[in-house]
Structure 1
Amino acid sequence: MDRRDRAPLSVAQQLLILQLVVFAVVAVVAGALFVADERRDADTATRREVIEVAETTALFPEVARGIVSGDPAGTLQERAEAVRLATEVDFVVVLNEDAIRLTHPVPELIGLPFTGNTDPARTGETFTETYTGSLGSSIRAVAPVLGDTGELVGFVSVGVTRQHIWNEFVAGLPTILGVVAAGFAISMVGAYLIARRLRRQTLGLAPDQLRRLYEHHDAVLHSIGEGLLVLGTDGEVPRIDVVNDEARRLVGLSPDGPVHFEDLPETLRDLATRDDVRDEVHLTADRVLVVNSDAVAWEGRKLGTVVTLRDHTELQSVLGELDSVKGFAESLRAQAHESANRLHTIVTRVELGRTDEAVAFATEELAMSQALIDRLTAAVREPALVALLLGKIGDAAERGVELTVTEDTALESASGLSTRDLVTLVGNLVDNAIDAARTSPEPWVEVAIREDDSTMTVEVADSGPGMSPEVLARATTRGYSTKSDHHGLGLALVTQVVARYGGTLRTEPSLGSMIVAEIPLRHAPPVHDRREDTA
């Protein structure tokens, strides 16, 4: 197989191999140092041992007497051999003042000159040296032997051969090697556990793959047109692992710096515990967002949640305006149809010669329609609002709902509110009321718009079932509708307008089904106007 076709080693695998190599080198070096240290300790211990044996033997009275007498009975040899066997040294040699051996493990060497050094001992000092003598290389100690009057009479040399020291060291090697092997085995287990944990954290990817993944990840995050959030979990505390520039803009986060989970709107924070959300509409202070979320798992373990955000603010605004235009068109169609019926009635009466009845009928219908137009035009100074109310009255009638505008409706101005926001506010409240009223046997809607000092109040009541404060709160964040084929963004859009101008939106349970919106007039320009998005 070509090397280029082989799967690259993951970060965890490379780390495991490197750790094993390092641990092996460390084990070998540590073992070598341990061996050298043991050899050094063995030499040191041997020197202490031979010094102690030599000094102790030199203090025996019979040794000094035997040296002075020349040991005619050979008792020094027996004594020296007994000491050698008891202390497990290789030789104990007693010398006279001329360094002639009086004892030796090899009897044939008794009487021959000592082949080592005795000069330091002649000054009364016990010393050690490494010397190659008749038994081979050895560590030996030479101690002076003093007579009864303190004069030097001879020496005692005690030694252990290098071969003996090596044999003892080799006997202890299995223990040393066992300790090194145990350390290496423990290191291997630790390296494997670390590599396995790293493999889970890096998803089994190789370093080059991780680098390319990061580069692509960074490029994609800055280039995609949708908002992207990656929500992770650390125990029970959610966190934001990834947030791109578009998500910061859509949610109103700071353009740079860390983002905390608490910075997200409340409706988006719920997504940390919800998976597989599809095209769910969420409302922020000034945007309509379509949200999708998917859980991210690895080997059966949930790693987090990926959330995508699409901005539908402008689209929803256009759809709202389209609905209004369609409503106006339907209203005009209904009015045209009704006008055709009335005109046909008038023409028929004229043809039948009942001209007086035809004139009375036409005058009555014109007077009723003109009275309503005149009243609204005189009371409401905003032409777009007048047109909206007239259109909604016709639309409601077409749908079998009686819509009335109260006599006390009056609005001198809508200072601070844009025409679009005013139409959005009143139009959506009326539309929702018409939809709710149609569920009752005798559907009706009543609209009141008043200006009190510096506050504009919009009250919309209907014959529908009404909403509790809890349902209203849900409707202003996720959307609510009495119709199954609608997302129910009307109240949510109303809430955006009310919040933008610092107003309030509430229900009036004491008055049945009624929603009241209060907007401060002559309010400072809104913080954000959706029209700025298209600039």
Structure 2
Amino acid sequence: MRLFKMSLQTKILGLVLSLVFLIIVLLTASFTYMEGEQIEEQKGQLALQISKTISTMPTIINAFNTDDPSKIIQPIVEKIRKKTGAEFIVVGNKQSIRYSHPNPKRIGHKMVGGDNYRALVLGKSYISKAKGSLGTSLRGKSAIFNHNGQIVGIVSVGFLFEDIKVQIIKNIIKVSLISLAVLIISIFGSILLARNIRKDTMGLEPYQIAALYKERNAILHSVKEGIIAVDKNGVITMMNQTAKHLLNFSGDFHNKKVEEILPTTRLYEVLQTGEPQADKEMVLKNKTVIVNRTPIFDKNNKEVIGVVASFRDKTEIEQMVNTLSEVRRYSEDLRAQTHEFTNKLYVLSGLIQLGEYEQAMNMIQDETAALKFQNRILFDQIKDVKVQAILLGKLGKASEKKIRFDIDSNSSLQSLPKQMTLSHLIIIIGNLIDNAFEAVAGTKDACVNFFTTDLGQDIIFEITDNGAGINEEDISLLFNRGFSTKSGHEPRGFGLANVKEAINELGGCIEVQSKIGEGSIFIVYLPKDSKGGLNNGTG
């Protein structure tokens, strides 16, 4: 079952509406309470002021001395009641008998409510709440004093609570309409905000951004290339583990300028020009790397807001290429050996078919003697399988090229240390023997000699040829990449450079001895201990 994932617009709309609705409810409730209290206070004070005013009116006071006070009081107070909006204005004597009332039929009856004591006995003016003949009301009461200062009556002005509630409801309706308008504005504002955020996030939802972020981290830390990203100010924003390893950097890279970690960086050129740079070589922490720099543009593709640089150790690429090249050469050597033995088998088959059994036997004995001698040295004295395999291939290649390839009978070699891999040996031994073959190719009595020993602290490989030799001034240039003493259109000058790099990697060194017309000798020294070893160089 697929889980429902809420969109950003729905989240923002829901959150904003919930907050706005909660605020509206709280504000409306607070307003209703305070408005009710305020209206009640205002109505109470109005009722009290009206009652005080009426109680001091001379006409009202003098009316109490007449035979029928209601004839004078009723018209006056009714007129005042209508103008002030009071629900009732009742004037009564000291016995609470009404002299006025909105309903004339109730004149002469006793006032209802039981809240006249403080006015008629104590002579006070006050506000009270009580249920009268017209209903529950808020009342303002004042005592009426005659000219001698004696209490002769009471004035009661009232506003019904029902009327107060109606006024409060009207005010609440006004506030609710305003709140509704605010709610509608909030809805549109939320929608616009969500659309604006989606525009900034390229239409992606938060969960999609989170998924991309996780995928990005997984990809960045899984690739073998080092990756660094900087913003428009050159501050590092991202660096994967491979980059940290290649730069030998540990710690927090955030808020650091790129030049603090890469003093020779050229990322600022890309920031200024906006032009990408591809496959550029540079040295980082004593390592030669291949660097690609790509600018990052804003959403309008006008301004460069950052740069991403990816780089990989060049030595890894070269090792891979060299290994593939040497393995191919190794397979060709084996093919040559197979081809040579196939030819010899055809010769034997022909001799037997012609009945030349004696010549066939002599050929078999000669081959057996030669192989027996070679095999004794190759398998009894050289115990390392990798070196055996390389030499077997070269023996076949030498036979095919009509070159005498001798393995010195004094050679002895045990199994090599683990750090000397087949790839290293193919590059070193294979290249040196192939170069010796090329040096003697086409010469009379072409001969190449191979010698090895592991006596002492070093493994020694010595390859000797009787070729034309090398000029003394060229010896120091032999291991420079691209340099070659051979002519031709094919790219050359890489074999010996690869040999030198492989020897350096194993902590060894190589010596060259050569004279024009006397051939050349290449001697390789590889330390058995990978930690210690000889100084890298040539002799």
Q: TM-score, normalised by structure 1?
A: 0.56
**Displacement of 1:194:** 4.2
Q: Match of 2:106?
A: 109
C-alpha separation between the residues in 1 aligned to 2:215 and 2:147?
A: 96
Secondary structure in 2 matching 1:128:
strand
- Relative distance call for 1:300 and 1:205 in structure 2 (3 A) is same
Residue aligned with 1:69, SS:
coil
Counterpart-to-counterpart distance in 1, 2:224 and 2:183: 53
Aligned position for 1:312 = 314
Choose which of 12, 16, 27 in structure 2 pairs with 1:19: 16
**Relative to structure 1, is the Cα distance of residues 279 and 308 closer, same or farther in structure 2, using a 3 angstrom cutoff?**
same
Q: Establish whether residue 147 from structure 1 lines up as the match of residue 146 from structure 2.
A: yes
Alpha-carbon separation, structure 2, partners of 1:159 and 1:43: 12
Gaps of 5+ in 1: 344-368, 377-385, 401-418, 422-530
Kept in 1, the 8 Å contact 2:271–2:307? The answer is yes
Tell me the alpha carbon deviations over residues 130-164 of structure 1, each in whole angstroms, 9 at most, x when there is no partner: 22222222111111111212221111100111232
Instruction: Name the residue aligned to 2:252.
Output: 256
Which range moves more in the overlay, 163-172 or 316-325? 316-325
The one-letter code of the counterpart of 2:241 is D
Distance 1:183 1:197, change over 3 A: same
Residues 69-101 of structure 1, C-alpha deviation per residue, up to 9 Å, x if partnerless? 354471211210121122121111111111111
**Matched position secondary structure for 1:237:** coil
Paired residues for 1:490-505 under 5 Å:
none
Identity over the aligned pairs, expressed in percent? 24
> 2:243 matched to which residue of 1?
247
Residue identity opposite 1:311 in structure 2 = D
Structure 1 residue 138 corresponds to structure 2 residue 146: no
Gap change, CA 1:203 and 1:303, over 3 Å in 2:
farther
For 1:85, what is the secondary structure of its paired residue? helix
Partner residue, 1:224: 223
The one-character-per-residue Cα deviations of 1:20-62 (angstroms, maximum 9, x if unpaired) are: 2332233234323322332222112111111111112212122
Selected match of 2:116 from 95, 115, 118: 118
Q: Deviations over 1:413-467 (max 9, x none)?
A: xxxxxx969xxxxxxxxxxxxxxxxxxxxxxxxxxxxxxxxxxxxxxxxxxxxxx
Q: 1:237 aligns with which of 226, 233, 242?
A: 233
Q: Secondary structure at the match of 1:26?
A: helix
Question: Which residue is 2:92 aligned to?
Answer: 95
What residue in structure 2 maps to residue 49 of structure 1?
Answer: 46
1-structure distance, mates of 2:202, 2:7: 9
Q: Distance in 1 between matches of 2:19 and 2:131?
A: 41
The 8 Å contact of residues 69 and 99 in structure 2, kept in 1 or not, is answered as no
Does residue 83 in structure 1 map to residue 80 in structure 2? Answer: yes
What aligned pairs does 1:360-439 form with structure 2 within 5 A after superposition? 373=472, 387-389=475-477
1:261/1:269 contact within 8 Å kept: no
Q: Which residue is equivalent to 1:349?
A: none
Shift of 1:113: 0.5
Distance in 1 separating the partners of 2:151 and 2:162: 33
**Compared with structure 1, are the counterparts of its residues 73 and 193 closer, same or farther at alpha carbon in structure 2 (3 Å cutoff)?**
closer
Measure the CA separation in 2 of the matches of 1:289 and 1:390: 24
Partner of 2:510: none
Q: How far apart, CA to CA, are the structure 2 residues paired with 1:395 and 1:30?
A: 88
Aligned to 1:66, which of 59, 63, 66? 63
Offset of 1:264 from its aligned partner? 4.8
Confirm or deny: 8 A CA contact 1:334 1:398 kept in the other structure: no
C-alpha distance in structure 2 between counterparts of 1:14 and 1:156, whole Å: 62
Structure 1 residue 111, shift from structure 2 partner: 0.9
Amino acid at match of 2:143: P
Aligned residue for 1:93, secondary structure, equals strand
Match of 2:289 in 1: 289
| Closer/same/farther in 2, CA of residues 397 and 186 from structure 1, 3 Å limit | same
Mapped to 2, the partners of 1:269 and 1:123 lie a distance apart of 94
Matches within 5 A, 1:195-234: 195-200=194-199, 209=208, 212-231=211-230, 233=231
Residues 267 and 293, structure 2, Cα contact 8 Å, conserved in 1:
no
Change (3 A) 1:320 1:269: farther
Report the CA distance between 1:257 and its aligned residue. 5.0
**Cα distance in structure 1, aligned partners of 2:54 and 2:151:** 15
Encode CA deviations 1:400-420: one digit per residue, 9 max, x unaligned.
Answer: 9xxxxxxxxxxxxxxxxxx96
> For the residues of structure 2 that align with 1:143 and 1:155, how far apart are their CA atoms?
6
Query: For residue 167 of structure 1, what is the amino acid of its counterpart?
Result: V
Whole-Å Cα distance in 2 between the matches of residues 398 and 49 of structure 1? 121
The residue that corresponds to 2:410 in the other structure is none
Q: Is residue 2:177 matched to residue 1:175? A: no
Q: What is the alpha-carbon distance in structure 1 between the residues aligned to residue 253 and residue 146 of structure 2?
A: 92
Counterpart secondary structure, 2:30 = helix
TM-superposed CA distance for 1:166, in Å, is: 2.8
- Could you tell me whether the CA contact under 8 Å between 1:67 and 1:95 is conserved in 2? no
Distance in 1 between residues matched to 2:275 and 2:12, nearest whole Å: 35
Higher relative contact order (CA 8 A, sep 6+): 1
Match of 1:184 in 2: 183
CA contact (8 A) 1:130 1:139 kept: yes
Closer/same/farther in 2, CA of residues 77 and 240 from structure 1, 3 Å limit: same
1:352-409 Cα offsets, whole Å, 9 max, x none, are xxxxxxxxxxxxxxxxx99x74xx7xxxxxxxxx7324788x9677679xxxxxxxxx
Residue 291 of structure 1: SS of its match in structure 2?
strand
Residue matched to 1:527? none
Q: SS in structure 1 opposite 2:23?
A: helix
SS at match of 2:47: helix
Partners of 1:209 and 1:308 lie apart in 2 by 26
Unpaired runs of 5+ residues, structure 2, are 327-426, 447-468, 489-502, 506-535
What secondary structure is seen at the aligned counterpart in 1 of 2:64? helix
**Highest CA radius of gyration, 1 or 2?**
2
Distance 2:60 2:312 in 1: 107
The DSSP-based 3-state class of the residue aligned with 1:74 is: helix
Distance 1:35 1:69 in 2: 48
Asked if 2 retains the 8 angstrom alpha-carbon contact of 1:230 and 1:241, the reply is yes
Could you tell me which residue of structure 2 aligns to residue 526 of structure 1?
none
* Aligned length in residues: 363
Return the alpha-carbon distance in structure 2 between the equivalents of residues 221 and 391 of structure 1: 37
Q: Helix, strand or coil: the match of 2:138? A: strand
* 180 and 168 in structure 1: CA distance in 2 versus 1, 3 angstrom threshold: same
Determine the C-alpha separation between the residues in 2 that align with 1:269 and 1:245.
23
Distance 2:52 2:257 in 1: 81
Conserved? CA contact 2:270–2:294, under 8 Å: no
